[in-house]
Amino acid sequence: MATVCGVERYAGAARLVGPALLAAAIQLVGTTGAATHQLTARPLDALAVALLLTGPVALLARHRFAVPTLAVTAVGLLGYLAAGYPFGPVVVSFVFALVSAVCLGHSRPAWVLAGLTYLGLIAVTWVRLGPPSWWALSAVAAWLLLILTVGELVRARRERLVRDRRARAEAVERVATEERLRIARDLHDVLAHHVSLINVQAGTALHLLDEQPGLAREALTAIKASSKEVLVELRTMLGVLRRVDEDLPRSPVVGLAGLDELAARVRGSGLAVAVRRTGEPRPLPSAVDTAAFRITQEALTNVHRHAGAASAAVLIEYAAAAVVVQVDDDGAGPGTAASEDGVAARLGNGIPGMRERAAALGGQLWVGPAPGGGFRVRAELPVPTPTGADPESATSSRGHGNP
C-alpha cells in the first residue's frame, strides 16, 4: 500500500513539475540559440534569464492559482520582449498556463488575459520593429484562438468524464440503498413472523406444561423449528451484508413455493389457516414471487398478533397480468380506525412495509374490513404479460376493486 501511494505521489509530482521544467529548457536553450542571429537585440544577461524563468517557476502553482499563474507568465513574457531581448520560444510557459486555466474552468479570465496579452504583443512589436503586418496580426490571433479552443475542448471532455463518474457513483449508491431497504424489509418480515410465533408457542407451552405435557412438547417442537428457520434466514441475510460466504445465496430465497410450509407453521401456533389457489400457477419473476410471499407472511403475522382471530384464509390468484394475494380473517381487526392510515398506525411498520413492496413493483395494496366481517389484506402485483396472451384475461384481475 505504501508503495502504491509513493508511486501516485511521484506521478502527481511529475505532472506538476514536468511542464515547468520543459518550459524552462525550451525557453532558455531555444532563446539562447535564436539570439546568435539577432545582433541588434539586447544581449542575454541575468535579468533576461530571470524573466525567462519567471513563467516556468509560476507554472508550479498553476493547479491551485491558475489565473494568477497565467497573469505572471504574461507579465514575464511582455517584460522580456519590452526590455529588447532577442525573440525566441519565450511563449511556452504562457501557453501552458493558458491551457491550464481554461481546463480548470477559468475560461472567462483566460480569454480576457489572452486578449490583453495579444494587445501587449502588438504594442511591443510595434515599438521594436514598427507597425506589424495584417498577416502577422492574423497569425498571432489565430494561434491564440487555437490554443484557447484546444483548452475548451479538453475542459469539456474532463467535465463530461467527471459527470459520468459522478453518475456511476450515484447509480451504485442508489442500488446499494435499494438493497439495504429491501434487506431491512425482509429482516422485519422474518423477525416479526417467527418471533411472534415463538412468543405464542412459548406461552402455550407454559400454560400446558403441567396439565398436558404432550401438547406442550408439540409447542416446544414448533418453537425449535421456528427458531432454526429464523436463524437460517438471518445467517443468509448477514451473508449478503458481509459478502464473506460465497457458498450462501446472495439473497434470501423465498417465494410462494414456501406458502404451504408457512401456513403449517402458523397452524402450529393455534391459528387455523386455509390456503386456496385459483388460476394457472406458473413461475413468477423473483421480485414478484418474493413480494407475494412476504406480504402473505406479514399479513398472517398481523392476524396472529392483533386480530384475535380463530382462522384465516389465504387466496393466491394467478391472472395473466398480475398475481393477487388476499388474506382474510374472522377476527376483530386492529381496531375501529376509519382509514388505512389509522390501521397502519396501530400495526406499526407492517402495513407500510407491505405497501412499499407492492408499490415498488407498480402494484397496489388495500387493507380494511372484509365483507361479512373480519379483516382483509389484498395486494395486486403486476406480472409481465406473456407474448400472445389474451388482453381480456390480462385485465381480469383488475375488476375486484378495493375491498
User: For every one of its 403 residues, what pLDDT tens digit does the chain have, with 9 covering 90 and above?
Assistant: 444 334 445 556 667 788 889 988 998 888 888 888 887 888 889 998 999 999 899 999 888 899 999 999 999 999 998 988 888 888 999 999 999 999 888 989 999 999 999 999 899 888 888 888 888 888 888 988 998 898 889 888 888 888 888 888 888 777 767 767 766 776 666 666 666 667 666 766 666 666 767 666 676 777 767 676 666 666 666 665 555 444 434 444 578 888 888 888 888 777 888 999 998 888 888 888 888 888 898 888 888 777 677 788 999 999 888 999 999 988 765 544 434 444 444 444 577 878 888 888 889 999 988 888 888 999 999 987 654 444 444 434 444 444 5
pLDDT for the residue numbered 192: 63
Q: Are 239 and 245 in contact (CB under 8 A)?
A: yes
pLDDT for the residue numbered 401: 47
Report the helix count and the strand count for the chain, using DSSP H and E: 12, 5
What number of other Cβ atoms are within 10 A of residue 322's Cβ? Answer: 24
Cell of 100: 491550464
> Rounded CA gap, 289 and 258, in Å?
10
Q: Does the pTM exceed 0.85?
A: no
pLDDT for the residue numbered 19: 85
Q: Are 256 and 287 in contact (CB under 8 A)?
A: no
Listed as own residue / partner, the contacts of 358-365 with beta carbons closer than 8 Å and 24 or more positions apart are 358/291, 358/295, 360/287, 360/291, 361/287, 361/288, 361/291, 363/291, 363/322, 365/295
182: Cα separation from own chain's centroid = 15
CB neighbour list of residue 191: distance below 8 Å, 6 or more residues apart:
230
pLDDT for the residue numbered 385: 62
Cell of 219: 409447542
pLDDT for the residue numbered 342: 45
Q: How far is CA 251 from CA 179, 235, 242, 246, 340, in A?
A: 10, 11, 12, 12, 31
pLDDT for the residue numbered 318: 92
What's the order of all strands across the beta sheet hosting 364-369?
272-278, 311-318, 322-329, 375-382, 364-369
pLDDT for the residue numbered 97: 92
pLDDT for the residue numbered 98: 92
Nearest to 88 by CA among 153, 12, 34: 34
* Helix, coil or strand: residue 378: strand
Render 56-101 in DSSP notation, one character per residue: HHHGGGTTTSHHHHHHHHHHHHHHHHHTTPPPSSTTHHHHHHHHHH
Dihedrals phi, psi of 266, to nearest 5 degrees? -65, -40
pLDDT for the residue numbered 299: 87
Length in residues, the chain = 403
> Rounded CA gap, 108 and 118, in Å?
15
Q: Are 294 and 335 in contact (CB under 8 A)?
A: no
> Rounded CA gap, 223 and 177, in Å?
34
pLDDT for the residue numbered 393: 41
Listed as own residue / partner, the contacts of 162-171 with beta carbons closer than 8 Å and 24 or more positions apart are none
What number of other Cβ atoms are within 10 A of residue 245's Cβ? Answer: 12
CB neighbour list of residue 311: distance below 8 Å, 6 or more residues apart:
271, 272, 273, 274, 329, 330
> Rounded CA gap, 294 and 77, in Å?
74
